[in-house]
């Protein structure tokens, strides 16, 4: 059995109904795939605390963690990922791609146009459902 890596992802949205998407760089596993920014949960952290820390480290922003979205376990060739995602809002700073190749604000209706890392796909589907129900309507 492969090791299970517990990671968290932030589904950061803005007032225009767009979601922040991050393109994995050549230095990362699964380069060229899109994901929700985030990272590994340390043994002494809650998912929410890890998400705040990871976004600060990766994007140099402060976020407020919102509604839980999805808890997905996906097995790749060499490892298994447990990805827990939450809606989040930026409360301070502007996202900068320090680790990713690119950051892009994408309208929720266009999320399927990106090539997502397989573990992120259930969260993408849930985000689209939530947004259609008016979660982010203004």
Residue 135: per-residue pLDDT? 60
pTM summary value: 0.92
Report yes or no: 11 and 69 within 8 Å, Cβ to Cβ. yes
- May I ask the CATH architecture of the domain 4-132? Alpha-Beta Complex (3.90)
pLDDT at position 137 is 42
> What are the sequence ranges of the domains in the chain?
4-132
Residue 58 sits at φ, ψ, to 5 deg, of -80, -40
Look at residue 1 in the predicted model and tell me its pLDDT: 59
Q: What is the pLDDT of residue 130?
A: 86
Check residue 138 and give its pLDDT: 36
Residue 26 C-beta-side C-alpha neighbours within 13 Å = 0
Going residue by residue through the chain, which has 138 residues, state the pLDDT in tens, using 9 for 90 and above.
Answer: 568 999 999 999 998 889 999 999 999 888 899 999 999 999 999 999 999 999 999 999 999 999 999 999 999 988 899 999 999 999 999 999 988 999 999 999 999 999 999 999 999 999 998 887 776 543
- CB proximity list for 72: less than 8 A, separation 6 or greater: 81, 82, 83, 84, 85, 119, 120, 122, 123
């Amino acid at each position: 059995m492969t090791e299970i890596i517990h990671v968290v992802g932030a589904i950061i949205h803005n007032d225009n109904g767009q979601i922040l998407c991050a393109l994995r760089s050549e230095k990362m596993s699964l380069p060229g795939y899109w994901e929700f920014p985030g990272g590994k949960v340390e043994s002494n952290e809650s998912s929410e605390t890890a998400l705040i820390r990871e976004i600060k480290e990766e994007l140099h922003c402060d976020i407020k963690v919102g509604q839980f979205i999805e808890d997905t376990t996906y097995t790749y060739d060499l490892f298994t990922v447990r990805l827990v995602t939450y809606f989040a809002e930026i409360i301070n700073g502007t996202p900068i791609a320090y680790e990713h190749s690119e950051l892009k604000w994408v309208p929720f209706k266009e999320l399927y146009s990106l090539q997502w890392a397989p573990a992120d796909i259930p969260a993408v589907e849930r985000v689209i459902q939530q947004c259609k129900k008016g979660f982010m309507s203004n």
